[in-house]
């Protein structure tokens, strides 16, 4: 029997569930990459998760490196986080007046993220970046923003330009529906290309409100900033009076406790957060220098609001997760990186043995696996990867009980509850998967 047929039998209930979902939701999903279009086949449906394991509705168990696309740094259904959320829920789901949870959360986020003096909670990463841009434009009185090819900052109109990730997977350079006038206010440069940013500033310096960047890119696979790139952006934005925005929706509390800005010692003016900050609940945040944040309503004229922002369940989950991270400290990030590096090393060595070009990166609790000889430093390189090989590899790993991201242009995620045992099992799975490539 072919591999595809074996898996189809093992996932019969998921297939049925997907067929039903297809008639009711666009592509059967509520977020495009979940539909597996980049790797073919049909998605499996989650039944429940426990620690590093995800179980589908057919009863298959996977060691999970998707981790809900990053938020689950404490794994699935961590007892402390579940307890915090259920206790909060029993007291009321939402109030629409302030709670002390919000203050507790703000205090903790400000203490952990070096550049944040004042913070505003929102409900998603998209909302955070969209709001940060509005604020940057208001603060500088300038219309234009600079972003990097292959960086994804959520689906706000002005950020859906060369946006990597799911957008790239679907070959939509710019989404239809984004007004041309809006797209025109977004300038793009290749990631890690400081000279390109310098020429954008030379030509349009007085009109640029902000440079927004993923300080480690995680939406074109996992791509590291080259030495001097982030510091160079800091210097350029300062010289031209523009703001530097680190989109740490993925990297925040994930590449280090204080995010990429702590790890690479560069202080942005504004930071956006998401994913890990909510521990699986819908949370985003943006924050930065007091002087800039004081423009936000009701202190200032820049409007931004949310009926469910700072929701008590979300704050309880996020606060509990971040407190546990703070207690675990740097040792946790070092261990996750060691495990990620071990996975990358095994992947690269197995590829080399078979004559298949492979390259990988591990940073904190994030990693990237590329079918490319490397190094992958920008979107052009990331796009040149062998996506067909990745699709075969992805399905082979699924059959071996390991869930990776269903696209090569996405990062992989470790958690605090992945242990040596899962690592060893994953390396064994890699060996068997490569034997079939």
Ligand X SMILES: *Cc1c(COP(=O)(O)O)cnc(C)c1O
Sign of CA dihedral 319, 321, 327, 331: negative
- The reply on whether position 406 binds ligand X by CB under 6 A is no
Q: Does 126 bind ligand X (CB under 6 A)?
A: yes
CB of 152 to ligand X, least distance (A): 5
CB of 409 closer than 8 Å to CB of 393: no
Name residues contacting ligand X, limited to 222-251 (CB under 6 A).
247, 249-250
Whether 43 contacts 37, CB under 8 Å: no
Interaction between residue 158 and ligand X (CB under 6 A):
no
If we measure between CA atoms, which residue out of 124, 193, 181 comes closest to residue 153? 124
Report if residue 153 touches ligand X, rule: CB under 6 A.
yes
By C-beta, is 167 or 433 nearer to ligand X? Answer: 167
Structure tokens at 414: 């470790």
User: Which residues are the active-site residues?
Assistant: 152, 247, 275
Shortest spacing between CB 316 and ligand X, in angstroms: 19
In the set 164, 218, 287, 312, which binds ligand X (CB under 6 A)?
Answer: 218
Assess 154 for contact with ligand X (CB under 6 A). yes
- Using CB under 6 A as the binding criterion, the count of chain residues that bind ligand X stands at 15
Helix pair 194-204, 229-240: axis angle to 10 deg: 10
Which residues in 43-86 belong to E strands, given as ranges?
A: 46-50, 53-56, 61-64
Nearest approach, Cβ of residue 58 and ligand X (Å): 27
> Taking each helix axis from N to C terminus, what angle separates 312-328 and 100-112, rounded to the nearest 10 degrees?
30
Query: Closest CB to ligand X belongs to which residue?
Result: 125
- Of the pair 219, 309, the CB lying nearest ligand X is at 219
Query: CA torsion 417→419→423→424, rounded to 10°?
Result: -150
CA 431 to chain centre: 28
Part of the chain binding ligand X (CB under 6 A), chosen from 150-158, 166-174, 232-240, 354-362: 150-158
Residues of span 249-288 touching ligand X by CB under 6 A: 249-250, 274, 284
Q: How far is the CB of 409 from ligand X (least distance, A)?
A: 12
Stretch that binds ligand X, among 152-160, 197-205, 285-293, 376-384 (CB under 6 A): 152-160
Q: Is 113 in the site for ligand X (CB under 6 A)?
A: no
The owner of tokens 């034997």 is 435
Q: List 247's β-bridge partners, or say none.
A: 272
Backbone angles phi, psi at 347, to 5 degrees: -60, -45
| Residues engaged in binding ligand X (CB under 6 A) | 124-126, 129, 152-154, 214, 218-219, 247, 249-250, 274, 284
């Amino acid at each position: 029997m072919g591999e595809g047929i074996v898996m189809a039998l093992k996932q019969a209930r998921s297939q049925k569930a997907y067929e039903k979902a297809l008639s009711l939701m666009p592509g059967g999903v509520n977020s495009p990459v979940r539909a597996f279009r980049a790797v073919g086949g049909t998605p499996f449906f989650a039944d429940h998760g426990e620690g590093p394991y995800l179980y589908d509705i057919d009863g298959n168990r996977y060691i999970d490196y998707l981790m809900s696309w990053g938020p689950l740094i404490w794994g699935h259904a961590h007892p402390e986080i579940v307890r915090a959320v259920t206790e909060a829920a029993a007291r009321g789901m939402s109030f629409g007046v302030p709670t002390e949870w919000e203050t507790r959360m703000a205090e903790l986020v400000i203490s952990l993220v070096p550049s944040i003096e004042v913070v505003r909670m929102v409900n998603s990463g998209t909302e955070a970046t969209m709001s940060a841009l509005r604020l940057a434009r208001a603060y500088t009185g300038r219309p234009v923003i600079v972003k990097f090819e292959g960086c994804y900052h959520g689906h706000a109109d002005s950020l859906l330009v060369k946006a990597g990730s799911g957008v790239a997977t679907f070959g939509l350079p710019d989404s239809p529906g984004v007004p041309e006038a809006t797209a025109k206010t977004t300038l793009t440069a290749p990631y890690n290309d400081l000279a390109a940013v310098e020429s954008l500033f030379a030509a349009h310096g007085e009109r640029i409100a902000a440079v927004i960047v993923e300080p480690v890119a995680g939406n074109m696979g996992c791509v590291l900033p080259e030495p001097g790139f982030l510091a160079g952006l800091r210097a350029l934005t300062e010289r031209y009076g523009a703001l530097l925005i680190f989109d740490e929706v993925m990297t925040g509390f994930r590449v280090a406790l204080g995010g990429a800005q702590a790890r690479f010692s560069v202080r942005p003016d504004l930071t956006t957060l998401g994913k890990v900050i909510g521990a699986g609940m819908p949370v985003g945040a943006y924050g930065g220098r007091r002087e800039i944040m004081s423009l936000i309503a009701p202190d200032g004229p820049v409007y931004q609001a949310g009926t469910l922002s700072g929701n008590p369940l979300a704050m309880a989950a996020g606060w509990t997760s971040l407190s546990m991270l703070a207690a675990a400290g740097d040792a946790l990030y070092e261990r996750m990186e060691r495990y990620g590096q071990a996975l990358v090393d095994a992947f690269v060595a197995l590829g080399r043995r078979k004559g298949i070009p492979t390259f990988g990166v591990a940073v904190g609790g994030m990693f990237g696996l590329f079918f490319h000889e490397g190094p992958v430093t920008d979107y052009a390189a990331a796009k040149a990867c062998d996506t067909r090989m990745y699709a075969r590899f992805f399905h082979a790993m699924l059959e071996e009980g390991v869930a990776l991201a269903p696209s090569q242009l996405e990062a992989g995620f470790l958690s605090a509850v992945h242990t040596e045992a899962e690592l060893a099992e994953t390396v064994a799975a890699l060996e068997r998967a490569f034997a079939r490539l």
